[in-house]
Copies of this chain bind each other. A is one copy, B any other.
Amino acid sequence: MSPRKIGITELALRDAHQSLLATRMATEDMVGACEDIDKAGFWSVECWGGATYDSCIRFLNEDPWVRLRTFRELMPNTQLQMLLRGQNLLGYRHYEDMVVERFVEKSAENGMDVFRVFDAVNDPRNMAKAMQAVAKTGKHAQGTICYTISPVHTVEGYVKLAGQLIEMGAQSICIKDMAALLKPQPAFDIVRAIKETYGEETVISVHCHATSGVTMVTLQKAIEAGADCVDTAISSMSLGPGHNPTESFVEMLEGTRFTTDVDMDRLLKIRDHFAKIRPRYAAQESAILVDTDIFASQIPGGMLSNMESQLKEQGAGDRVREVMAEVPRVKADAGHPPLVTPTSQIVGTQAVFNVLFGKYEKITGEFADLVLGYYGRTLGDVPPTVVKLAQAQSGKKPITGRPADLLKPEWDDLVEAAKALPGTDGTDEDVLTYAMFPAIAPGFFAKRDDGPKSVAMSEAEYAAMKAAETSGEKTSGVSAATYNVSVGGRTHTVKVERA
């Protein structure tokens, strides 16, 4: 029997740098790898999503649609994949259905092939419209299960959700483990149960982060259970809060009943490319290597650093432990939502508020929306006392319907508002950029013509930094060095040490 082929989704161009380098990688640092990525034989290459879109216009002065078209042009043979937050699209609120349709249509038109559609609270009603829109374009709609651990989350529950996604037209199912919580045995159990329930031909993709150090084994167990595709990142853009290394995944299958179709020579070229790029983003780099605390706290790395900075701003940097203990309680009160954008921010901020101001003394507008149903239906029930408090403080009523049903048509207004902004080019793409990020888009449009602004060190700056590190004589790790110092117009050559 010939070994079964496992597809690989390469993450270097989206989630890898989002997780490792604060989503800051510039397109110019990616284009050099595109030919090798295109010819490596990946099932797909993930290259677009909410955070990369945001980062493009907020930090890099890049048009995200130009980035997408660049990828399409440079990678004609590989499926381009994006992560889409269902009815949220790439923004932080629900959009009216026509905006969803237009966004998907334009994304497909600009080159997107695979749409991984997810919802933070796993409410299928928040994914339905986006899935339909994808189907209409003839592209691949992938329905997503956000994995979390809670008293109400069970294998049976995930299997049921998979069924709902399949009914909605999902051509494949993604199990998305954004917090590296998915251990090998539950991965095996969920994949097996989905296959047994809906047929072995159900295509399943598994996305794991590497943070907890267990998920390479999770991928192995998932494919043993029948998973068809896995997400990995080229080794020079892997590990820590990122993902498991692509080359290692390929190598580890040797001699087993599984194989991949990828070209190792191409992988090594991609690796060498990013090995040169990554150090120039050292200032953006995350310091996490392995973290198993997450099994207890369920707090993803990015969320923790967010909460820490919130606490510091309030002069309460010493209360992190209290907040970490509060998070699981707030998560439970919210009906056990998976912690992923935007629920991770909402739960995290409310936990900070509870510690600073007293339990639910101050409920944020977003937390009120979450427990009142405006983000959709969570799997667990929200305690009536919490609903009452949220209702009282927000002045809103709980809802049980699909949140987007409350929205009025908004496309025409968005077009009008966007077109009034200096620097817009009148395209639907610009309207969508404005719709996604109304606060940042105007500034971006106004200075778009200045062209991309990378936040990385230039090669010259990096070389200078390395040279400086090497030339500094080390005394037990604290560097002393010889400098040319100008004092009062005269230059002295002196050896200095930190005062």
> Chain A: residues with CB nearer than 8 A to chain B?
183-186, 189, 212-214, 216-218, 220, 235-236, 238-239, 244-245, 247-249, 251-252, 254-256, 268, 280, 282-283, 289-293, 295, 455-458, 461-462, 464-465, 468, 474, 476-479, 483-487, 492, 494, 496, 498-499
Task: Report chain B residues within 8 Å CB of A483.
Answer: 496, 498-499
Q: Give 23 A-B contacts (CB < 8 Å), ordered by A residue.
A: A212-B248, A213-B235, A213-B245, A213-B247, A214-B216, A214-B251, A217-B220, A220-B220, A235-B289, A239-B289, A247-B292, A282-B477, A458-B476, A461-B477, A461-B478, A464-B478, A464-B498, A465-B478, A485-B485, A485-B487, A486-B494, A487-B487, A487-B494
Q: Which 10 A-B pairs have the closest CB atoms?
A: A213-B248, A484-B499, A185-B255, A214-B252, A457-B477, A235-B290, A247-B292, A213-B245, A283-B477, A245-B290
Contact B289 A238 (CB under 8 A): yes
Report the minimal beta-carbon distance from A135 to chain B, rounded to whole angstroms: 36
Report the minimal beta-carbon distance from A457 to chain B, rounded to whole angstroms: 4
Contact A476 B455 (CB under 8 A): yes
Q: How far is the CA of A323 from the CA of B8 in the complex (A)?
A: 33
Q: How far is the CA of A255 from the CA of B457 in the complex (A)?
A: 46
Task: Report chain B residues within 8 Å CB of A216.
Answer: 213-214, 216-217
Q: How far is the CA of A181 from the CA of B218 in the complex (A)?
A: 20
Q: Which residue of B lies closest to A211 (CB)?
A: B248
Contact B487 A461 (CB under 8 A): no
Given contacts A255-B183, A461-B477, contact A290 B248 (CB under 8 A): yes
Contact B485 A462 (CB under 8 A): no
Given contacts A283-B477, A465-B477, contact A217 B289 (CB under 8 A): no
Report the minimal beta-carbon distance from A217 to chain B, rounded to whole angstroms: 5
Task: Report chain B residues within 8 Å CB of A486.
Answer: 494
Task: Report chain B residues within 8 Å CB of A461.
Answer: 476-478
Contact B220 A184 (CB under 8 A): yes
Task: Report chain B residues within 8 Å CB of A212.
Answer: 248, 251
Task: Report chain B residues within 8 Å CB of A499.
Answer: 483-484
Task: Report chain B residues within 8 Å CB of A185.
Answer: 254-256
Contact A474 B283 (CB under 8 A): yes
Contact A251 B464 (CB under 8 A): no
Other-chain residue from B218, B235, B476 in contact with A457 (beta carbon distance below 8 A): B476
Other-chain residue from B239, B248, B254, B468 in contact with A498 (beta carbon distance below 8 A): B468
Report the minimal beta-carbon distance from A26 to chain B, rounded to whole angstroms: 12
Q: How far is the CA of A245 from the CA of B290 in the complex (A)?
A: 8
Q: How far is the CA of A185 from the CA of B252 in the complex (A)?
A: 8
| Chain A facing B: main interface SS | mixed
Q: Give 18 A-B pairs besides A214-B249, A484-B499 with Cβ atoms closer than 8 angstroms.
A: A183-B251, A185-B254, A189-B255, A213-B248, A217-B252, A235-B290, A238-B290, A239-B290, A251-B292, A251-B295, A268-B293, A283-B477, A457-B476, A457-B478, A465-B478, A468-B478, A483-B496, A486-B494
Task: Report chain B residues within 8 Å CB of A455.
Answer: 476
Other-chain residue from B248, B292, B456 in contact with A248 (beta carbon distance below 8 A): B292
Task: Report chain B residues within 8 Å CB of A477.
Answer: 280, 282-283, 456-457, 461-462, 465
Q: How far is the CA of A255 from the CA of B149 in the complex (A)?
A: 13
Q: Which residue of B lies closest to A217 (CB)?
A: B220
Report the minimal beta-carbon distance from A199 to chain B, rounded to whole angstroms: 25
Q: How far is the CA of A144 from the CA of B128 in the complex (A)?
A: 58
Task: Report chain B residues within 8 Å CB of A280.
Answer: 477
Q: How far is the CA of A292 from the CA of B265 in the complex (A)?
A: 12
Task: Report chain B residues within 8 Å CB of A256.
Answer: 184-185
Q: How far is the CA of A213 from the CA of B251 in the complex (A)?
A: 9
Task: Report chain B residues within 8 Å CB of A479.
Answer: 468
Task: Report chain B residues within 8 Å CB of A484.
Answer: 499
Task: Report chain B residues within 8 Å CB of A496.
Answer: 483, 485, 496
Q: How far is the CA of A465 from the CA of B214 in the complex (A)?
A: 33
Q: Which residue of B lies closest to A483 (CB)?
A: B496
Task: Report chain B residues within 8 Å CB of A255.
Answer: 183, 185-186, 189
Report the minimal beta-carbon distance from A304 to chain B, rounded to whole angstroms: 15
Report the minimal beta-carbon distance from A41 to chain B, rounded to whole angstroms: 17
Contact A245 B292 (CB under 8 A): yes
Task: Report chain B residues within 8 Å CB of A291.
Answer: 235
Task: Report chain B residues within 8 Å CB of A476.
Answer: 283, 455-458, 461
Q: How far is the CA of A320 from the CA of B280 in the complex (A)?
A: 24
Other-chain residue from B183, B220, B235, B283 in contact with A254 (beta carbon distance below 8 A): B183
Q: How far is the CA of A492 from the CA of B457 in the complex (A)?
A: 30
Q: How far is the CA of A177 from the CA of B214 in the complex (A)?
A: 20
Q: How far is the CA of A99 from the CA of B465 in the complex (A)?
A: 51
Report the minimal beta-carbon distance from A148 to chain B, rounded to whole angstroms: 15
